[in-house]
Chains A and B, each alone.
Chain A
Amino acid sequence: MELVFACTMCHSDLAGQIRAGLLAGDLWREAAAMLLPFFIVLAIALSVRERSVQR
C-alpha cells in the first residue's frame, strides 16, 4: 500500500480504496445505525415539547 497523505476527495490509490470501501459497505445498515438513535432522541424531545404547545 502506498503510504501517502490522502484526503477522501483526491485521486491517489489510497483515497480510491477508501471510497471503494465506503461504497462496498451495507450503507443502509450504517446509515440506520447513525440515524436511529438520533431520531429516537429527537422524537422523544419533540413529543415532550409538543405537549406544552398544545396546552
Chain B
Amino acid sequence: MTRRPLIAAGLLLGAGLGGFIDGIVFHQILQLHGMLSARLPTDTLVNAKINMVWDGVFHCLTWLMTALGVSMLWGAARRADVPWSGRTFVGGLFGGWGLFNFVEGVIDHHLLGIHHVVERLGVSVYDYAFLGSGVAFMTLGAVLVSQRAISKSATPT
C-alpha cells in the first residue's frame, strides 16, 4: 500500500487552487497587487492592462496545475494499492497550497521583487505573513498526512 500518488495529486491540486485564491482574491477582487505591479504600477490604464495580461498567464499556469492534479487524482483512484483517505488528500491539498505560497512569496515577492502583497507598502509585514501562511499550511498538511488513520473501507476498486 502507498499513499504517495494521493499526496502528489493533493500537492498539485492544492498549489493550483491556492494559486487561484491568490489571483482571484488579491489580484482581481481586492486589487492589492498585479503580477508585475512593483515594476509597472497599475496607476495608468496601459500598465493595468499589461499587468492583466501577466495575471492571465499566471491563471493559465494555475489552471494547468489543477488539471494535472485532477489527472493524478484520477490515476490514484484507479490503483488498488492506494488507500482512499480524505485526511491524506486534504493534507496534500494544504501542503500544496502552503508550498505554493512559500515558494511564490520567496521568488516573486523577495528575490525578484516583481510584486508585493500590498503594493503601495512595498515589502511589508503582509509579505512575511504570506510566507508564514505558507509555512503554517505546509505544517498542517504534514500533520494530516502523518496520521495513520486510513479509511480502507472506502478504497475504490
Contacts and interface: CB of A to CB of B under 8 A. Distances in A.
Interface of A: 1, 3, 6, 8, 14, 17-18, 21-22, 25, 29-30, 32-38, 40-42, 44-46, 48-49, 51-52, 55
A42 B68 contact: yes
B58 A34 contact: yes
Contacts of B83: none
B114 A41 contact: no
A44 B49 contact: no
A9 to B, nearest CB: 11
Contact of A38 (B9, B15, B36): B15
A45 B12 contact: yes
Mostly, the B contact residues are helix
Given A1-B45, A34-B54, A45-B96, A40 B7 contact: no
Q: Which of B8, B39, B57, B112 has the largest count of A CB atoms less than 10 A from its CB?
A: B8
A32 B108 CA distance: 9
Interface of B: 2, 4-5, 7-9, 11-12, 15, 19, 35-36, 39-40, 44-47, 49-50, 53-54, 57-58, 61, 64-65, 68, 72, 96, 99-100, 103-104, 107-108, 112, 114
Contacts of B112: 29, 32-33
A42 B9 CA distance: 10
Contact of A25 (B2, B39, B57): B39
Nearest to B14: A41
A55 B46 contact: no
